[in-house]
Amino acid sequence: MSVSSPVPASPAPASAASAADTAAPTQAELLDFVRRAAADAELIASLPLDPEGRTWVRLEGPGGSEAWLIGWPPGTGTGWHDHADSVGAFVTAAGELKENALAARLPTDGWKTLELSEGVDRERRLPTGKGRAFGQHHVHEVLNESDDRHAVSVHAYYPPLPQIRRYSRTGPTLRLEQVERPQDWQ
């Protein structure tokens, strides 16, 4: 796993950057940023890829957002998680990713185990150039199901991630396993 210092990705024109500095970026603006960064072939090629584990480089996101360029070896994934109070967006820059998500708003506190209703599961295939934005408390997992090809993606979150809640899932049962905070990722 590699972590590097921030790298600018497809900087916005000065007038757009000034406007972004005064207001929180919207989901649409985050999606626009990750799309532009994912289309930057030089940036994507700069990411070191590891055959064993995910790699990442922090990028300078718009309006104080947190952004990442992430490499996914074949067969890797995130596990079920959410991004707490942050909104976000991500785009596949190379390869294909799969997102499994829940189309239900979960309570944020006061529970350890939930039984999910039928019909809340959503699956999206995200080939190169495809992505999505999502709101607060979006529970999902992202996977590279390829047997032989790396995937690369660009992600952005605002506000910068205050925490990530990690879950395990067995059938319809979702269990809160761990809460991570930024100091846990350093």
For the chain, give the percent of residues with pLDDT over 70.
88
pLDDT at 2: 39
Answer whether residue 155 is part of any domain.
yes
CB 30 within 8 A of CB 89: yes
Query: What distance in Å separates the CA atoms of residue 53 and residue 72, rounded to the nearest whole number?
Result: 7
Answer whether residue 131 is part of any domain.
yes
Nearest partner of 75 among 58, 95, 59, 92, judged by Cα = 95
CATH assignment of the domain containing 26: 2.60.120.10
Evaluate if residue 60 carries a pLDDT over 90.
yes
Q: What total number of domains does the chain contain?
A: 1
Answer whether residue 154 is part of any domain.
yes
Give residue 137's domain range. 7-185
Answer whether residue 1 is part of any domain.
no
pLDDT class of 7 with cuts at 50, 70, 90: very low
pLDDT at 185: 72
Answer whether residue 100 is part of any domain.
yes
**71, containing H or E segment:** strand 66-72
Query: What distance in Å separates the CA atoms of residue 25 and residue 21, rounded to the nearest whole number?
Result: 9
CA torsion 17→61→155→160, rounded to 10°? Answer: -120
